């Protein structure tokens, strides 16, 4: 059942129906929603009671309900949300590492979901396992930031679109969310602190290149030849490497920013030295740095991460070729940090629950 009332966060302030009244009410309401992260209309004490009543009858205020938090304050925390439609999504809160003096850093990155499930079906990923359900709306994307700050009390400085879903397949809502995040009345995180990760939708990469926003781009490459990439990423059949890398070159040319090539290392699938040599070539062409991610085991999937020796050798080939490469030892390895895994567990638990109910 689709929700009966529109979600307030899906609309820009100029689209809100506030009835008759002075225009500065829009500014006040935006301030409560985005700056003060108000939890309810009742908190908005400088708005007339009548207006608050009208708003409550016209709009839904809460986009997300917190179901579960996994992880601890010092490490990565994963938040599982229930949407108004009963679907589940997750966001991951990642603290910057401790600074030189051992003080706790106040810099936090939030990893956002953009879809319920994913249609791209990469063979190694938990998000695609249950198929695609629906796109998130702009408000549901932005609400992840506001609700995470409210529930955890931290201030988020950095955003990465690396959660569940393919952000560029939800292009219109993504752009709208980016506007709400960027605007002075909105969340107030600058484009330079935002990274979009894509499995390689070449036409949308070109479209994003035309946007004035200085967003960072991360490409999930995971294979340096069509043969290797197509084996684990079906999207490669639609947009083969030559076309994809050309689109990235255009992005790089327009933005003059350093891109990131993400490369999951999976044992005996893409961890061969020849792949490293070709990966280095792609990275140099795009002036990109490489982020090596040892594969995070997903229950039910057969892939394994390579040995530390193989990972180090792979990284050394890149470095010797003059490419900046980092190995991301997953901070959240122990809490199912790879996207989609917490939701998968919840879906499995729900399924078990309903089969128990059926039997009872």
Active site residues: 90, 339
Region from 49-57, 195-203, 252-260, 347-355 binding ligand SAH, contact rule CB under 6 A: 195-203
Secondary structure letter of residue 119 according to DSSP: S
- Reading phi first (left if > 0) and then psi (alpha if -120 to 50, else beta), residue 37 is in left
| Contact between 125 and ligand SF4 per CB under 6 A | yes
What does DSSP say about strands 108-111 and 115-117: parallel, antiparallel, or unpaired?
unpaired
Region from 27-35, 37-45, 183-191, 290-298 binding ligand SAH, contact rule CB under 6 A: 290-298
Of residues 149-178, those binding ligand SAH (CB under 6 A)? 162, 166
CA distance 157 to 249: 28
| Contact between 168 and ligand SF4 per CB under 6 A | no
3-state SS class at 109: strand
Count of residues engaged in binding ligand SF4, rule: CB under 6 A? 12
Residue nearer to ligand SAH on the CB measure, 140 or 166: 166
Q: State the first-to-last Cα distance of the chain, in angstroms, to the nearest integer.
A: 26
CA distance 10 to 138: 6
Secondary structure letter of residue 27 according to DSSP: H
CA distance 224 to 288: 14
What's the min distance (Å) between Cβ of 127 and ligand SAH?
A: 7
CA 350 to mean position of chain CA atoms: 24
CA 160 to mean position of chain CA atoms: 5
Region from 4-12, 95-103, 142-150, 191-199 binding ligand SAH, contact rule CB under 6 A: 191-199
Q: Binding partner of residue 208 among ligand SF4, ligand SAH, none, CB under 5 to 8 Å per kind? A: none
Residue nearer to ligand SF4 on the CB measure, 6 or 234: 234
Of residues 327-346, those binding ligand SAH (CB under 6 A)? 338-339
Question: From the list 13, 71, 95, 128, which residue makes contact with ligand SF4 (rule: CB under 6 A)?
Answer: 128
Among residues 326, 272, 318, 328, the alpha carbon closest in space to that of 296 is found at 328
Of residues 318-347, those binding ligand SF4 (CB under 6 A)? 339
CA distance 193 to 310: 32
What does DSSP say about strands 194-198 and 88-95: parallel, antiparallel, or unpaired?
unpaired
Q: Binding partner of residue 195 among ligand SAH, ligand SF4, none, CB under 5 to 8 Å per kind? A: none
| Contact between 161 and ligand SF4 per CB under 6 A | no
What's the min distance (Å) between Cβ of 136 and ligand SF4?
A: 13
CA distance 272 to 277: 9
CA distance 114 to 107: 23
Q: Binding partner of residue 128 among ligand SF4, ligand SAH, none, CB under 5 to 8 Å per kind? A: ligand SF4
Binding site for ligand SF4 (CB under 6 A): 118, 120-122, 125, 127-128, 165-166, 199, 220, 339
Site residues, ligand SAH (CB under 6 A):
124-125, 162, 166, 197-199, 220, 262, 264, 293, 295-296, 298, 338-339
């Amino acid at each position: 059942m689709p929700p009966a009332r529109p979600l307030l966060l899906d609309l820009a302030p100029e689209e809100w129906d506030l009835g008759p009244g002075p225009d500065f009410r829009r500014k006040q309401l935006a301030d409560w929603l985005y700056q003060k992260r108000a939890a309810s209309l009742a908190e908005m004490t400088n708005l007339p009671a009548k207006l608050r009543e009208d708003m409550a009858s016209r709009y839904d205020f809460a986009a997300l309900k917190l179901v579960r938090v996994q992880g601890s304050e010092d490490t990565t925390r994963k938040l599982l949300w229930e949407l108004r439609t009963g679907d589940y999504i997750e966001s991951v809160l990642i603290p910057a590492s401790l600074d030189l003096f051992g003080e706790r850093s106040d810099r936090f990155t939030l990893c956002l979901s953009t879809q319920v499930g994913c249609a791209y079906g990469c063979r190694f990923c938990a998000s695609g396992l249950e198929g695609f359900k629906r796109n998130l709306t702009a408000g549901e994307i932005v609400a992840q930031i506001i609700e995470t700050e409210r529930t955890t009390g931290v201030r988020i400085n950095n955003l990465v679109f690396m959660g569940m879903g393919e952000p560029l397949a939800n292009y219109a809502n993504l752009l709208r969310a980016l506007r709400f995040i960027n605007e002075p009345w909105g969340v107030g995180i600058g484009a330079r602190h935002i990274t979009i990760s894509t499995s390689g939708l070449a036409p949308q990469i070109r479209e994003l290149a035309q946007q004035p926003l200085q967003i960072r781009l991360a490409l999930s490459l995971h294979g340096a030849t069509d043969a290797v990439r197509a084996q684990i990423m079906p999207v490669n059949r639609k947009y083969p490497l030559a076309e994809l890398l050309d689109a990235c070159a255009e992005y790089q040319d327009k933005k003059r920013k350093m891109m990131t090539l993400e490369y999951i290392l999976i044992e005996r699938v893409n961890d061969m030295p020849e792949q490293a040599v070709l990966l280095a070539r792609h990275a140099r062409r795009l002036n990109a740095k490489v982020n090596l991610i040892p594969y995070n085991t997903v229950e039910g999937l057969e892939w394994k991460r390579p040995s530390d020796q193989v990972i180090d050798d792979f990284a050394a080939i890149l470095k010797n070729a003059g490419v900046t490469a980092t190995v991301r030892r997953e901070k959240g390895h122990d809490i199912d940090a790879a996207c989609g895994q917490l939701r998968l567990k919840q879906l499995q638990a729900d399924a078990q629950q309903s089969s128990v109910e059926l039997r009872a």
